[in-house]
Structure 1
Amino acid sequence: MRAAPGRGPPFFFARMPGAYFPEFRVTDQSTNRTGGVLGFGGAWAMAVGGMIGGGIFSTLGVVISVAGRYAAISFLIGGLIAFGTGHSYSRLTVARDAPGGSYGFLRDLGHVRLARAVVWTLIAGYVLTVAVYGFTFGAYAANAFGAPAWAAKAASIAAIAIIAGVNLLGARQATIVELVAVWAKLLILLGLAGLGLWHWAPERLALPAHEAVGPLGALAGVGVVFMAYEGFQLLSYDYDEMKDPPRTISRAMAWSIAATTLTYILVAIGAPMLAGADQIVAREEIALAEAGQAALGALGFVLVTIAAVFSTASAINATVFATARLAGGAAKDGELPAAFARTSGSGVPHVGVLVISALAMVLAIIGGIEQLVEGASFVFLLVFALVNGIAWRQRVAHRWMSGAACMAAIASAVVLVLYVTGGI
């Protein structure tokens, strides 16, 4: 752990229980590191790519089936939880001035066993997430060509394998892929949402009478859809890859979450107005392709399919990129097998990239979209609640945001369990 410039010795949480983290000021804590390749644009793209990548393409149909006409409210509440959690992650990461995320925060506090459990849980969650992205990529690609189910699985494997190869080339190549993919999908998604809003038809947001849900569905939808906001916290693992890390991570987290939340809300309103909520649910694996076809015929179908391919590819890229670095750091601490700490000549933790990608391929083949989404959402709600709790306990600046996000994440996890078990 490094000392933050101008702040004296490093913070050791274990020696200072409940220590107060001085409020971050850009002018005081900016560093002079020049080795990083991620500036604000690259970091913002990595975070947006990690969230939107599987988010709206994988979960829109699922959340509408749960929340109905209130799906946009589910995305809004989820975005508020994510924003508070992003505040906690950025403050804690800047205070320790080193990568690590929830795993690193717990080790600093002296909770080594819990940190070990969390890092394994996180890796499992990220593998599930990459599997969702791969599954979605395969579904859209196969649908575009009218190919059979086996072709969708083959496309899933190919996408994960190719992006793993990009990651093995190094951080600079991964960042270039992310910037191109993020802007391409944002333009297409916002264009689709704009067309839906132009054809204003609020009656199409409702499910058929026998499938209708009430306002409580919006709360259940938060739990089901929360995997769509996984991704911003990956920046805490990429801290050493950034230019001027304290400034970059704080700005990139806030702006990426804001951009993602706005995009989700607009698409959750616009897409059903084009295709109808019932059709979005019926074709949940390729829901936005249906909306694109309803808007612009074959052209809309092709554009949305292209966006889905770019989107899921960028999400796989961002998630594998950061998770391999998380595993590498934990391996250096002796919490994971030493092989995960091995790096290639270009500094890439190649064993982590290969293992994470291989496990995700298996799950993409054997898993269903709803089970993968719900499992990943539950994992991240619990981990984010934990990080918010740490931030509140450590008295970060504006700790009320961390406390509110902690309580909301716990409540959403409980509602998700009740929904999955038939309690609501």
Structure 2
Amino acid sequence: MGHEAEADRRGMSVWGAAFLGVGSMVGAGIFALLGEAGAVAGAAVWLSFLIAGVVALLQGYAVAKLGARYPSSGGVVAFLLRGFGDGHLTAVASWLLYFAVTIVTAMVAVSFGGYGSALFFAGSPGWARVLTAVVVLLNAALTIAGGRWISRAQTWVTMILLAVFAVFVCATFSGLDTHLLAWSAYPPATDVVSSVALTFFAYLGFTVVSFTGGDLVQPERNLPRAMFLALGIAIALYVLIALGVFGTLTVQQVIDSGDTALAAAARPVLGDTGFGLMALVALLATSSSLNANLYAATGATTALAASGTFPPVFGRHARLGGTRGLTISVLLVLLLANLVDLTAIASLGSVVALVIFLLTSVAAYRLRARTRSRAGVLVTGIVLTSAVLLVFLVHTLAVEPETFGGMLGVVVLAIVVDRVWTRARDRR
């Protein structure tokens, strides 16, 4: 089969896959993280983003090597199946990943509704709920349309985001106050390292690239390219934005601004126009992230249903298009967005992702001969990820013991769901 025929059948380009990852990362992290990370690392947040980016690159190496050897729309889930088989470890990890993706997707949808309501409807809670539902349903329809349409939409949206962020960086750097970024004002190194657990959340979306293996042309060559391209763009973007924000506003101003820190940093140079522009960018970014997460959830649940890890209903075709797994995911996202206080369980996404990345790296190490991976790189990734996970858990236990208990509760839930489904499957 020629490359043109394969491209027509698969429908995802390298840039499309990379922009899918960038869109997922940017929408999920940068708008909500600056204030929270600033409270821990002060103006050294840019350094925290850089360190977290290095950890993400090491994880990206493992995922890219596995994706090149075993291209699949199942992404990380397919790699866990390859590395550990279809036993309870893979099953529990898969349920945890599914729960985490669903929660993060609901959080992003709620953020879209909040931004849209504040921008167009004076912050009306009713309109926020309406916009939350609308953006979920529209992105579900785009997911049903297939990889080609997702690639095109993500490419255009991400190009707009990058263009606006370039304007933002240039504007903030033109009035940069270097005294606000003085090394002498940075907190102790232990605080900066602790904040890595927070800033790492901004990179969670890179794994979405691994789910494009079934849609990419020549995935064995192009998936690693898309992975490192997405991470390279995200790292540069995060570091520059953090420098621009903390070089324009004081740490306390960033903390007080919360989710609107980027818009607040744009106001001194670009005025109210800059504030409104960054709010519009937030709508695009959150919508892009939501689309990428639904795309990944569809591929993952289909692969898990095919392996018997999830009930077969997740892999069946739905009447309105797509899979029933997508339909179930959309319904869960809408329920979570309307009935659950998502801020109370926001940290769940980070800790689950770190666990999944750690297991993926171990799987890559076990399969290193088949994937032709460098053992030293994989071991370094395993060690650093373990360190970040340990710091994250210790910090959460000390600062938010209720959240830590919630994390344990979700792990127990995943184990129970796996046991119930396994027994039901075996009885059949």
TM class, shorter-length: 0.7 to 0.9
2:338 matches 1:362: no
Between the aligned partners of 1:345 and 1:149, the Cα distance in structure 2 is 32
The answer to whether the 8 Å contact 2:318/2:327 transfers is no
The answer to whether the 8 Å contact 1:328/1:349 transfers is no
Which has the larger helix fraction? 2
Of 205, 225, 243, 2:217 maps to 243
Q: Which amino acid aligns with 2:51?
A: I
Between the aligned partners of 1:151 and 1:48, the Cα distance in structure 2 is 28
Which SS does the other structure have where 1:89 is aligned? helix
1:4-403 equivalences in 2 (<5 Å): 33-34=6-7, 35-108=9-82, 109-110=84-85, 112-145=87-120, 146-204=122-180, 213-343=187-317, 349-366=322-339, 370-395=343-368, 396-403=372-379
How far residue 32 of structure 1 moved from its aligned partner, in angstroms, is: 8.1
Q: 1:379 to 1:318 in 2, by over 3 A?
A: same
Q: 1:276 to 1:366 in 2, by over 3 A?
A: farther
Q: 1:241 to 1:343 in 2, by over 3 A?
A: farther
How far residue 213 of structure 1 moved from its aligned partner, in angstroms, is: 4.4
Q: 1:406 to 1:421 in 2, by over 3 A?
A: same
| Gap regions ≥5 residues in structure 1 | 6-29
Between the aligned partners of 1:249 and 1:164, the Cα distance in structure 2 is 24
Q: 1:325 to 1:413 in 2, by over 3 A?
A: same
Q: 1:290 to 1:87 in 2, by over 3 A?
A: same
Q: 1:293 to 1:143 in 2, by over 3 A?
A: farther
Residue in 1 aligned with 2:406? none
Which SS does the other structure have where 1:61 is aligned? helix
Q: 1:32 to 1:388 in 2, by over 3 A?
A: farther
The answer to whether the 8 Å contact 1:75/1:222 transfers is yes
The answer to whether the 8 Å contact 2:136/2:330 transfers is yes
Between the aligned partners of 2:157 and 2:230, the Cα distance in structure 1 is 15
Q: 1:167 to 1:282 in 2, by over 3 A?
A: same
How far residue 110 of structure 1 moved from its aligned partner, in angstroms, is: 2.8
Q: 1:117 to 1:342 in 2, by over 3 A?
A: same
Residue in 2 aligned with 1:415? 391
Which SS does the other structure have where 1:283 is aligned? helix
| TM-score, length of structure 2 as denominator length | 0.84
Q: Which amino acid aligns with 2:116?
A: A
Between the aligned partners of 2:52 and 2:24, the Cα distance in structure 1 is 15
Give me the identity figure in percent.
24
Between the aligned partners of 1:223 and 1:96, the Cα distance in structure 2 is 29
Residue in 2 aligned with 1:8? none
Between the aligned partners of 1:296 and 1:335, the Cα distance in structure 2 is 52
How far residue 372 of structure 1 moved from its aligned partner, in angstroms, is: 4.5
Which SS does the other structure have where 1:56 is aligned? helix
Between the aligned partners of 1:367 and 1:297, the Cα distance in structure 2 is 36
Q: Which amino acid aligns with 1:158?
A: V
Between the aligned partners of 1:151 and 1:292, the Cα distance in structure 2 is 26
Between the aligned partners of 1:317 and 1:401, the Cα distance in structure 2 is 31
What is the number of residues matched between the two proteins?
391
Between the aligned partners of 1:384 and 1:71, the Cα distance in structure 2 is 23
The answer to whether the 8 Å contact 2:73/2:299 transfers is no
Which SS does the other structure have where 2:301 is aligned? helix
Residue in 1 aligned with 2:419? none
